[in-house]
A and B are shown apart, each in its own frame.
Chain A
């Protein structure tokens, strides 16, 4: 091989749109991982404590005789005012001096215990898969204090963001065929929404949920379009099990996955269905065995299988009423009608506050927001994308496309149903609203598909420009988001 041909190989690879996008998302992901101060991500302190408990004690965080945080974590948290910054935004504004950092390093050099945490916390009932994933970075980090391990874990989680981008590329390729511009648009949406880059580079089980769900969407589409090949079915079931072992929200994946397997099975000629059914039954063991194993282990350890919602102390919970639940859902998405009793404590429309603002990007402990007009523009954009997608999808008549659409719609509705039931139950238990925008991120593959669909429907001469405009707009949004975070914490 001549040197010029050898040099062409890597250069050619960089010209591939997916490679270039992976590079861009990777650098932006690293920036998020390193820019956000320690534990300034929702519940990151508790999730770090869970991971540390597994890493140091090889035990789930359920000890009743100790606190949730280790001395190692408390020392680091105090050094960076982690618990005060989110709640006293005007008064606590650290100047992040090197001398303070050196003082912390001297204290950390005395090796405060990292194994005297592991007590009960709000997220202790979570399954362990994400935490085990992050423990690879914990163990592999060369650092010896909580801060260095935290940042090693965050940087490791950039791989999850990149996996989500790759999954989006595969998903849109499965649905639209090898249309690079549509694939690039879909993958860019998945990789560059600011809330996505913020959450997926934090120590948070949502970071693993998103790529698993996006991969499940891809494999579900493959199972439907290629007649439930055994390998695809087994992989889909394994991914679904992995998602459930990451966070209980992923039980919402089970109905659409079963529907996808059923649809794929029906694609087969009648003569093959018996054998295919047996193979699919075997493949489904990849879903049920790990999940039932975890359920059995949890019960054996006396742990809750899922996070339970209990009435807050001093209040009496209310029963689940279907009519009231429907009223709650109406009031989440639409203005309250005069005859409806208010449900929930939000003064404005929850759709705006939770899904639009929170879904596109509110950072820190939800106290760091971009300028209001940005969210107003994003609300219009989201509405236009949704309307365009609905308009295009309403015209679908082809049977395979209808089946794919059924799978995607069922996935979204199943996720929303589980989230809203949980939120409603929290409200009637007197605990206040539960939902945050990041809980919708597992469905971001569908939003990417909607934008990709719009790309395919444009005249050919416009598609490249549209794709470029989407990427540039997302990039500028990323800059606004990063500057918002930087201003909040470092000026």
Chain B
């Protein structure tokens, strides 16, 4: 190998190219991770599982509605307080608000280990997708052994209210609904930007975050482009040696 040093301009060019390559590899990795990460939530009624709103004996049935379906779903999760030995099983039926016959039906059971006195999620999937833009009523019937506490809190807008003993209450179950086709995080970026722009300033929109993303790209390139200049300035200066 020749003892001559490579020209400064070539070293500096290599520097920028090298940094960009590393960045590109990192971005590819993030894109892959974004494609593989699938989000399953369609929507929730935004009621926390803060307290027991119903104590359900075997065979007992409670209903909640009308709740607004803001996105299509085919699965539902509710929360209960279970003992380790509980054999919890609930049948969930749903029907359009005002209808009489259940149109959709599923069974919900614990999906993972049970921790006593800790809210446990029970989930199940319907055989078909329930379309958005309608209002439905949801009923739970216990096929469990023993009395089980079903969790929820005060009803909020769009959650519907729980009917207890045939009478409407101010309470609601904590419910989360599952999307029929989980979307990747990458595919959800436009949705994320749209949602993040709400409850900010009135004139904000998804465009705000697209603009910021473009700003990041431009400024990253500016920083990487400044590295050769910084290296050149260092070569020409007499720095203090620590």
Q: List 9 A-B contacts (CB under 8 A).
A: A17-B229, A26-B219, A30-B215, A34-B204, A34-B209, A176-B239, A177-B237, A463-B231, A491-B41
Q: Is B1 an interface residue (CB 8 A)?
A: no
Please name all residues of chain B whose beta carbon is closer than 8 Å to the beta carbon of A486 when the two chains form the complex. Answer: 192, 196
Pick the contact of A84: B30, B48, B200 (CB < 8 A).
Answer: B48
What residues on B are CB-neighbors of A461 within 8 Å?
11
Query: How distant is the Cα of A471 from the Cα of B12 in the complex, in angstroms?
Result: 16
Taking CB atoms, residues of chain A closer than 8 Å to B30 are 476, 479-480, 483
B226–A16 CB distance below 8 A:
yes
**Residues B48 and A87 in contact, CB atoms below 8 Å apart:** yes
CB within 8 Å for A95 and B234 given contacts A27-B212, A34-B212, A468-B19 = no
Interface string of B189-203 (1 = CB under 8 A from A): 001100110111110
Q: How far is the CA of A81 from the CA of B50 in the complex (A)?
A: 14
Closest to B183 in A: A491
Q: A residues within 8 A CB of B192?
A: 486-487, 490-491
B195/A490 in contact, CB under 8 A: yes
Given A178-B239, A453-B242, 12 more A-B residue pairs with CB atoms under 8 Å apart are A20-B222, A34-B212, A96-B198, A100-B157, A151-B201, A177-B238, A396-B242, A464-B230, A472-B23, A473-B26, A476-B23, A483-B30
- CB of B46 within 8 A of CB of A483, answer no
Task: State the majority secondary structure of interface residues on A.
Answer: helix
Would you call B200 and A401 a contact (CB within 8 A)? no
Chain B 28-60 near chain A by CB (<8 Å), digits 1 or 0: 001000100101010110111110000000000
- In the bound complex, residues from chain B placing their C-beta under 8 Å from that of A487 are 37, 39, 185, 192
Least Cβ distance of B214 to chain A in Å? 9
Known pairs A91-B49, A476-B26; A34 contacts B19 (CB<8 A)? no
- Nearest residue (CB) in B for A30 is B212
- With a cutoff of 8 Å between Cβ atoms, the chain A residues found around residue B18 in the complex are 465, 468
Q: Chain B residues near A463 (CB, 8 Å)? A: 231, 234
Within the complex, what minimum Cβ distance (angstroms) separates B3 from chain A?
14
Partner of A101, one of B48, B198, B224, B230: B198
Within 8 A of A (CB), among B97-150: 121
Q: Is A23 an interface residue (CB 8 A)?
A: yes
- Residues of chain B within 8 A (CB-CB) of A38 are 199
The chain A residue with its CB closest to the CB of B212 is A31
B208 in contact (CB, < 8 A): yes
Q: Are B224 and A468 in contact (CB under 8 A)?
A: yes
- Indicate whether A180 reaches chain B with its CB closer than 8 angstroms: yes
By the criterion CB–CB under 8 Å, are B26 and A472 in contact? yes
- Asked if residues A92 and B234 are in contact (CB atoms below 8 Å), the reply is no
Query: Which A residues lie within 8 Å of B216 (CB)?
Result: 24, 27-28, 31
A469-487 contacts to B (CB < 8 Å): 469, 471-473, 475-476, 479-480, 483, 486-487
Closest approach, in angstroms, between the C-beta of A181 and any C-beta of chain B?
5
A475 touches B196 (CB 8 A): no
Tell yes or no: B174 within 8 A of A by CB. yes
Q: Do B199 and A104 touch across chains, with their CB atoms under 8 A apart?
A: yes
B79 at the interface (CB under 8 A from A): yes
Partner of A97, one of B12, B23, B198, B222: B198
B219 in contact with A24 (CB, 8 Å): yes
Residues of B with C-beta under 8 A to A79: 199
Residues of A within 8 A of B27 (CB): 476, 479
Whether B19 lies near A465 (C-beta < 8 A) is yes
Q: In the docked arrangement, what's the CA distance between A486 and B209, Å?
A: 12
